[in-house]
Structure 1
Amino acid sequence: MYIILVYDISLDEKGSRVLNRIFKLCKKYLTHVQKSVFEGEITPAKLKELELQLSDLIRDDLDSVVIFKNTNKRWLEKSYLGISLEDELSNFF
């Protein structure tokens, strides 16, 4: 399964710590693409594990995580606007 994970963490007094923990957790499972965006291949079991760990970290009333799922990466078409990331992310095309 191929996923894109996007998160939005409120930067209140505890937000920086939550943000740092979520970043480190996502980096264990996926590839960091841009600020709060990760992507990559993941098994359904590993995805469930990641979701459970994320739900323990986020604050339901302040933070959000969105996971876009696809069964195959080849059905995903990407385009970029602004700074080109092609050189940095060439292994994703």
Structure 2
Amino acid sequence: MYVLLVYDVEVKRVVKVHKFLKRHLHWVQNSVFEGELTDAQIETVKAGVRQLISDDADSVLIYIAREQRWLAKETLGRERAETGNLL
């Protein structure tokens, strides 16, 4: 599955959330990650994020598509990070 994850968390949790997500997805922009994950990996990411955020103060949006080709992506300006395959 292709995952696009966007978060808005309080400053005191930003670094922890960012470091956790960087282990599982590609960082593409401030508070935005994307990448290919299996269903099990998606559940791992959800569980990890739930442990790091506050339900009352933070927000995390996860968009899931069966494949990246189902999304039309257009970048205006500089692209922050390459999202190609890692070896």
Structure label with greater radius of gyration: 1
Give the deviation of 1:80 after TM superposition.
2.1
Gaps in structure 2 of 5+ consecutive residues: none
Between structures 1 and 2, the one with greater helix share: 1
Q: Who is 1:85 aligned against?
A: 79
1:79, 1:20 → 2: CA distance? Answer: 27
1:90, 1:47 → 2: CA distance? Answer: 18
Give the deviation of 1:79 after TM superposition.
1.2
Q: Who is 2:43 aligned against?
A: 48
Q: Describe how 1:1-80 pairs up with structure 2 within 5 A.
A: 1-11=1-11, 15=12, 18-80=13-75
> Identity, % of aligned pairs?
38
TM-score by length of 2: 0.88
TM-score by length of 1: 0.83
1:9, 1:49 → 2: CA distance? Answer: 19
Give the deviation of 1:90 after TM superposition.
6.6
Tell me the C-alpha RMSD between the 2 structures: 1.7
In the TM superposition, structure 1's runs of 4+ consecutive aligned residues that sit over 2 Å from their partners are 88-92
